[in-house]
Structure 1
Amino acid sequence: MEVVDQALHMNGGTGDTSYASNSLCQKNGISMTKPITDDAITNLYSTISPKSLVIADLGCSSGPNSLFMISELIKVVDELRKKLGHPSPEYQVLLNDLPENDFNNIFKSLPSFQKKMSNQLGVGVCPIFISGVPGSFYSRLFPSKSLHFVHSSYSLHWLSQVPEQLENNKGNICVACTSPPIVLRAYHAQFQKDFSMFLSCRAEELVVGGRMVLMFLGRRSENPSSKECCYIWELLALALNDLVSKGLIEEETMNSFNIPLYSPSLSEVKSEVLKERSFTIDHLETSEMNWIAYDSELMMNSPDAFFDSGYNVAKCIRAVVEPLLISHFGDAIIEEVFCSYRKILSDCLSKETNNFINVIASVTKKG
């Protein structure tokens, strides 16, 4: 898992290819789940009403999304405690990601975040204590029975490691329509192992009645090589294979590259929760979104982006996987890869709409 820990992180900073500048799609997904998250935190506070409310965001990454959901949760609790006539709880926020995550980017934004929250919530609100917790969420991160609420979005489809037995996945970079059955089984087995471990660890760390809201990149189909979850990655594989044909990447190097990503179905998520037996399922659903998320400011500054459907998608994927690509192929081919990828995306997305599927689960820790 050491290689994954070092290479699996979003692009840091605030530059043109950073995750902070290219995560609007993910923010839209988080916004779509707000009714589910609001319901979960409302039920938690109504039931427990802790004097100190501890919230963990697992896979927080960096940039504006890392604090967006936290601010929404705190606003819901503050409104509810006023209706109930309760004093404000203290808020402890624990932001987790792998050690190579750009935590500095988050910490630099904390003064403005604290000021904004203070202005929005007004007088009588207790402090919000925020800290970073580096480490894999496939292991224990927090003391026993210390958490009240866990949130994780667009993180749990990332596995703890690349599965074994992928020798026959030549020309692909993860599960694909041309992947042999042994590859599909290997990825599914790794997901089962990892998600079971995640649930077991959180069961130790959450108080009885504690809540989790989890969102994955997933699929509706029971076929793990379904186009609805694999297509965008298959197109990236095409871009890499294009560089193989040009002699810029060795074929052996390409065939040894696979990313630790698995998009589960609704039933696969449900099965692991039921097998682990520490949680009741309050809500489980899928939602559909388009890969293309337009930023009004970007449209003003780069109007060509509106007409190039591959522009935003290529930047979004680059912000996510560039560190993995550099770790395996080096950085000399990166611009060429994403130039090719953008052209492939533009051509394919101009002919058809390619949406992606979210799987959203809301669960409660059993007594």
Structure 2
Amino acid sequence: MGIADLGCSSGPNTLSVISEIIDVIYSKCCHLGRPPPELRISLNDLYSNDFNDIFGSLPAFYNRLKEEKGTGLGPCFISGVPGSFYGRLFPSKSLHFVHSSSSLHWLSQVPPGLDSKASIAINKGRIYMSKTSPQSVLDSYFLQFHKDFSQFLKSRSEEVVLGGRMVLSFMGRRSMDPTTEESCHHFELLAHALMSMVSEGLIPEEKVDTFNAPYYAPCAEEVKSEIQKDGSFIMDRLEAFEIDWDGGVDSCNSIETPSSGQRVAKTIRAVVESMMEAHFGSDIMDDLFLRYAKIVDNHLSKTRAKYINLVVSIIRVDKIEG
């Protein structure tokens, strides 16, 4: 059985989903009275991902499987597959199950015309879509999402066997409006933090004007439309879940407990710091995210902000033309 985790990252959570998948397969086979299949598990992320860290944790992972499952579990072969999932990664008809979590909202690139090489900055003072962005900015982001997601589906349609399944989880939105607060306000507040540094002469304004996040949180209708256009998959299930910005943890006023804004800033920093550091330099990062934490604290004192997480399950079928 061929299994792939796309956008696996590295760290203590990398193998957690794989462990869950193995548990489900093992339990199902036990229930049916059948021997578990051999498992070929491929962990994918970009070339810069720390695969050595993952491989270093495999001996402990295999030992735990042996202790929990004994000899009842079939052979499990885990490998790393570096590269972008917006293109082919695996041989034709080699995958039975594909999983991806918190990855597909990242675009393959900043939409053309908005990157730092553009001759004219058309999204001035902002680093993503917002209520005040020109319509051309919104259109550019949607077109990039359409191009990337359609390429993702096309690539997987060649790699997944008929009847195979993909379960994809990524940031999204409920509204058709791409500038709704649930999809972009965390970036708008980060732009406010950057502009406060511009006003103090700490960074030049053009640095902000030429940075745009390669991110898109689609609505369910956009996801359904792209799946239908591709025609290689049918949707089995789609659900939207609300997630509190700060994880839903109540803040205390003690020195030891970080504020909601600090927790949000830490999470966002872990995700975006590398790309922001490449553009703005490392010297401003500490100051930037301290300011961001204060701005988020102020925002969360007035409202309980939430992200929307879309989870979609789709099944590979004979291509539906039209």
Normalising by structure 1, what TM-score?
Answer: 0.82
5+ unaligned residues in a row in structure 1: which ranges? Answer: 1-52
Q: Which residue of 2 aligns with 1:69?
A: 17
Contact 1:165 1:182 in 2 (8 A): no
1:113-145 Cα deviation digits (max 9, x unpaired): 222222222322122211111100001000000
SS of equivalent residue, structure 1 residue 65: coil
Map 1:153-232 → 2, pairs under 5 A: 153-166=101-114, 167-232=121-186
Contact 1:54 1:146 in 2 (8 A): yes
* Structure 2 residue 264 is matched with structure 1 residue 313: yes
Q: Which residue of 2 aligns with 1:33?
A: none
Q: In structure 1, what residue type is equivalent to 2:299?
A: C
1:2-36 Cα deviation digits (max 9, x unpaired): xxxxxxxxxxxxxxxxxxxxxxxxxxxxxxxxxxx
5+ unaligned residues in a row in structure 2: which ranges? Answer: 115-120
Q: In structure 2, what residue type is equivalent to 1:129?
A: F
Q: Which residue of 1 aligns with 2:117?
A: none
- Distance between the aligned counterparts of 1:302 and 1:361, measured in 2? 41
Q: Residue 135 of structure 1 is aligned with which of 83, 105, 110?
A: 83
SS of equivalent residue, structure 2 residue 282: coil
Report the identity percentage: 53
Q: Which residue of 2 aligns with 1:366?
A: 317
SS of equivalent residue, structure 1 residue 130: strand
Q: How far is the alpha carbon of 1:339 from its aligned partner?
A: 0.9
Normalising by structure 2, what TM-score?
Answer: 0.93
SS of equivalent residue, structure 2 residue 22: helix
- Distance between the aligned counterparts of 1:249 and 1:57, measured in 2? 39
Q: Which residue of 1 aligns with 2:282?
A: 331
Q: Which residue of 1 aligns with 2:244?
A: 290
* Structure 2 residue 46 is matched with structure 1 residue 98: yes
Contact 1:163 1:186 in 2 (8 A): yes
- Distance between the aligned counterparts of 1:97 and 1:258, measured in 2? 22
1:217-238 Cα deviation digits (max 9, x unpaired): 0000000010111111111111
Q: How far is the alpha carbon of 1:255 from its aligned partner?
A: 0.3
1:254-294 Cα deviation digits (max 9, x unpaired): 10001100000000000000000000110012111112137
Q: Residue 55 of structure 2 is aligned with which of 85, 107, 111?
A: 107
Q: How far is the alpha carbon of 1:343 from its aligned partner?
A: 1.0
Aligned-residue Cα RMSD (Å) equals 1.8
1:44-78 Cα deviation digits (max 9, x unpaired): xxxxxxxxx11100011111221111111110110
* Structure 2 residue 17 is matched with structure 1 residue 54: no
SS of equivalent residue, structure 2 residue 283: coil
Q: In structure 2, what residue type is equivalent to 1:235?
A: L
Contact 1:156 1:216 in 2 (8 A): yes
Map 1:13-32 → 2, pairs under 5 A: none
SS of equivalent residue, structure 1 residue 216: strand
Q: Which residue of 1 aligns with 2:118?
A: none
SS of equivalent residue, structure 1 residue 327: helix
SS of equivalent residue, structure 1 residue 94: strand
* Structure 2 residue 294 is matched with structure 1 residue 343: yes
Q: Which residue of 2 aligns with 1:86?
A: 34
Q: In structure 2, what residue type is equivalent to 1:223?
A: D
Q: Which residue of 2 aligns with 1:303?
A: 256
1:166-201 Cα deviation digits (max 9, x unpaired): 331111111112111110000000000000000000
1:313-350 Cα deviation digits (max 9, x unpaired): 11110010000011111111111111111111111112
Contact 1:75 1:121 in 2 (8 A): no
Q: Which residue of 2 aligns with 1:236?
A: 190
- Distance between the aligned counterparts of 2:262 and 2:57, measured in 1? 28
Q: In structure 2, what residue type is equivalent to 1:293?
A: G
Contact 1:175 1:262 in 2 (8 A): no
Q: Which residue of 1 aligns with 2:65?
A: 117
Q: How far is the alpha carbon of 1:89 from its aligned partner?
A: 1.1
Q: In structure 2, what residue type is equivalent to 1:337?
A: L
- Distance between the aligned counterparts of 1:295 and 1:185, measured in 2? 36
Runs (4+) of structure 1 exceeding 6 A deviation are none
